[in-house]
Every structure is written in C-alpha cells, then in structure tokens.
A and B are shown apart, each in its own frame.
Chain A
Amino acid sequence: MSAPPSAYRRLASGHHASLAGALKRPLLVAIILGTSVCIYAIHRVTLGLMLSAVLTWSFAVIVQLLAAAAFVASSKRRRVSLPAAMDLFFMGHAPWSLWLLAVAAWAAWLPHPLKMDYIVLATAAVPFAWTAVIVFAFCREVLNDPPRLAVIRTLFHQSLIWTFTGVYIAVVVALWPRIIGTLAS
C-alpha cells in the first residue's frame, strides 16, 4: 500500500472473494485493535485479555464495515463484486493497523506515568492522511469513479467515520456539561 493507485489497479482486475472471505480482513483489524488496546493499556497480553478486547472493541470495526458496505454498494461502476471490493477496501487499513501496533510498541516499554496520550493522538495525523489517499485510489481504481466523484466519495466516507467517532467521544466524556462550564467561565 505504499503506491495505492498501482496496487489497486493491479488487484482490481480479477480479484475474487466470497462473503466469508471478505470478513477475514475486518477480523484481522479487530484482532490488531484488541491486541494494541491490551498492550497500550496494561502492558501485557494474554489470550483471554486479547479476546475480551477484540470482543469489546469490535464495535469500531463493525462501524467501519457498515460504512464501507454503504460506500461500496452505492457505486454503480465498480469493477469487482461487493465482497471482493470490501476485501480490497479493508486492505487499505494498513496505515491504521501499523499505527496501532507502533503506538502499542512505544507504550509497552515506557513507564506508565510518563506516557503522553495527546502526543500519541497527534501522530494519528499520518495514518489519517495516508488513509485518505488510499480511499481516493480505491474509488478511482476499484469503484471506477471519475476524479471529482472520487474526491466527493472519499470526503463522504471519511466524514461518516469521523462523525461517528466524534459523537461517541462526546457522549462518553459528557461533553455537554463541559461546554456549559467553559462558556460560563
């Protein structure tokens, strides 16, 4: 995925995947997420903890899966079947997968209180940008979109994912009382 347009161009011709086959990469993403959560949060990993983390955080993968399905199914020009397109789409998760593992590796050898969560979040700009490039290449080469539509579709997909993320964060941190407090001070 270092050269997404040429990779997708090559893979889009004759790529096949069954429905079950299309779920393999999302499952792998869930395993990566669960493993990274364990190592980042508690600096250790066991089979039980990993499975628990995969189970609990799989909601994030399910959201990505649903967003991708809506995104791919809406394309009328795509060159491959829906399962094959889903499989190719999740191939583009590499930037986030590698980032999750890199952050977990970085955290694993630091004493906990020295960790700086905000710096970690700032480094997410790299996979964020790289993913946008990959999604654009996917739209162009797999969904066969003209450039303008590929940009619109990329923006739509990324907005969908980040709006969901924003809403989730707003709910769990109780953002509303914090906004009231900030406005009042």
Chain B
Amino acid sequence: MRLWNQFLWHQALAWSLLAAGLVIGSLAGAVPVRNPPVHDGYWILAADFHVHGFPGDGALAPWMLRSEAVQQGLDVIAITNHNRTGAARLGAALPRADGEPLVLMGQEVTAPNFHLIAVGIQKEIDWRQPPAAIIDDIHAQGGAAIAAHPFKSYWGYDDAALTKLDGVEAAPSSRTNRVRRVEVNAFFDRAVQLRPQIAPIGSSDYHFSGPLGYCRTYVVAREWSVGGVVDAIRDGRTVAYDDRGTGRGDPARVAIVEKIRREAADVRGFEVWRHISVALTLVGMFLVVVTVGAVREPPLQ
C-alpha cells in the first residue's frame, strides 16, 4: 500500500509539472497585436513565402503556423507544400482578426529538375508542364512565381521561363555551403540579366525546425492583401534578408528596411519564462511516461 501511495504521489507530481509548464507557456506566449510600418504610403510587410504545413511535410497545422508567424514578427506567410494545396487552402480560409498575419495559398511546384514557389494561387498547379507553362498558369491564377533554392540541381529553367519568373530565393541561410551559395548567386545574376526588376526573396523553407522567417522577405506593398503582396513581388518591390541580417535588393529599399529592423521592438514573449515552461513540460511529460506510461509497471495493490 505504501508503494502504491508513493506511485500515485509521483503521478500527481508528473501531471502538476506538466500543467504548470503549459500554463506558464500560455501566459508567456502572449504577443501584442502589431501593425506593420508604413513608409511613404507603402506597407513594409515581413513575409515568409516558403513554408510547409500539416497535412504535408510540415510539423504545424495552418493555424499553428499563423500563431508562430505572430511570434516571429511576420505579417505574411505562404503555405507551400509539395504539389499539394490542402493545407494552404485551409490556411487561406482561416478567419483573420485585425493585425493577424495574412496567409497566402501557395504550392511548391516540385518538378524533376526545378522547384517553383507559387504564391497567391487559387488551385493546384500541374507539375508535369514545362517551367514557362507553369509560370503562365500561376500568373493566370493571379499569383507570383518564385524560383525555390536555386542550387545547380534545380536549374531546370530555360530562358523563356527565366524571363517570366517574378522572384528568386536569393538569401541562402548560414547553413548553406559555399558552393551552393555561389550557385544561388549565379542563378540570381542570370535572372536579373534577363529580367532586371526580378524580386529578391528570402525564405525559411520551414518544415520541422526553423524558426519560421529566419530568412525573410520585406515586401513594399500598396496594401496588406493578397493582391497587394503579389503585385509587389511582380514589380520587384522586395528586400531579401538571410539569417545573418544581410539584406539584398534595391539599395534605397534596403536602407528603409534596415531602419525599420533597427527600430522594431522585440515581439517575442519573455524568453526566461518560455524556457521554464518548456523545462517543466518536458520533466512533467517524462515523469508521466515513467509512472503512467510504460517504463515500469505499477506496483500491485
């Protein structure tokens, strides 16, 4: 009986730690609604146009991605699963309160020798077409076409397609090796030669780890809407940032965005409480597994 009482006491402790972790996490995770800055009549929107969601090869459901976008100070995200639009459709359909990030319907058109991000589309794009036809399809749906991680193995675009591209992911993360960095720069330079106003894009390609928006794009948009964002990409009104804080784009726009980034308040909650919450939750969960789960059997009564 004494052993059984001890076992119950351990269970109570386990669940209490777990509950405390969740409560602290919920309280510490509250982030105030933030409105993006406006400069000379243009919204300066922080965006991540390459995000994978659940169901798909992403960890988080669309509403969780939007909640995380708030935490990371993003104003726009596009959910872009491989050749599938279910999660993106769900994300775009979520009701949106004032100040909440805009979720664009997107797709990472995954073809044998190129990956193309379609943002602001209405329905799934068929990957079996040539790249120029895919871009035409994206434009016909009112979207914008962005070359994804343009390393050499993804250079399957002919000149006809390159001249139609609206943007290129041109801000590789610090995890990208030197050779691939050179390849991205070569692709971007070639794209600029063929279409000088092509938009530089920074994206996280978020799946299971990130954080969301650690490489990001600042969009200079006339309005904070799907149309406003797509128009800005098509006109090349963007600045791409990698995770080291290096901006790429028109120098005047980079200067404006630099100023905004310096002035931006840290939107994240209290970091110490976040750590405490995670620690309590993990310890509580571990004890739950040990006592309730399976690591050892309950003592006989």
Among B1-9, B245-253, B292-300, the stretch that binds chain A is B292-300
Interface size class of A (residues with CB under 8 A): 35 or more
8 Å CB contact of B294 from A37, A91, A101, A185: A91
- Contact with B288, one of A11, A28, A177 (Cβ below 8 angstroms): A28
Contact partner, A112, options B127, B211, B282, Cβ 8 Å: B211
Partner of A39, one of B60, B63, B84, B282: B282
Complex interface: chain B residues within 8 A of A104 (CB): 282
What's the minimum C-beta distance from A137 to chain B, rounded to whole angstroms? 12
The verdict on B36 contacting chain A, using a C-beta distance below 8 Å, is no
A105–B282 contact, CB under 8 A? yes
Report the interface size for chain B: residues with CB under 8 A from the other chain: 56
- Mark the stretch among B108-116, B142-150, B161-169 that contacts chain A: B108-116
> Which residues of A have CB within 8 Å of B83?
174, 177
With an 8 A cutoff between CB atoms, is B258 at the interface? no
In whole angstroms, how far apart are the Cα atoms of A104 and B21 in the complex? 14
**Is B132's beta carbon under 8 Å from chain A?**
no
Stretch at the interface among B133-141, B228-236, B273-281: B273-281
The reply on B64 being an interface residue by CB < 8 A is yes
CA distance A180 to B127 in the complex (A): 12
| B293 and A93 form a contact (CB under 8 A) | yes
List residues of chain B with CB under 8 Å of any chain A CB. 21-23, 25-26, 28-29, 54-57, 59-61, 63-64, 67-68, 71, 81-84, 110-113, 127, 153, 173-175, 207-212, 214, 243, 274-275, 277-278, 281-282, 285-286, 288-289, 292-297
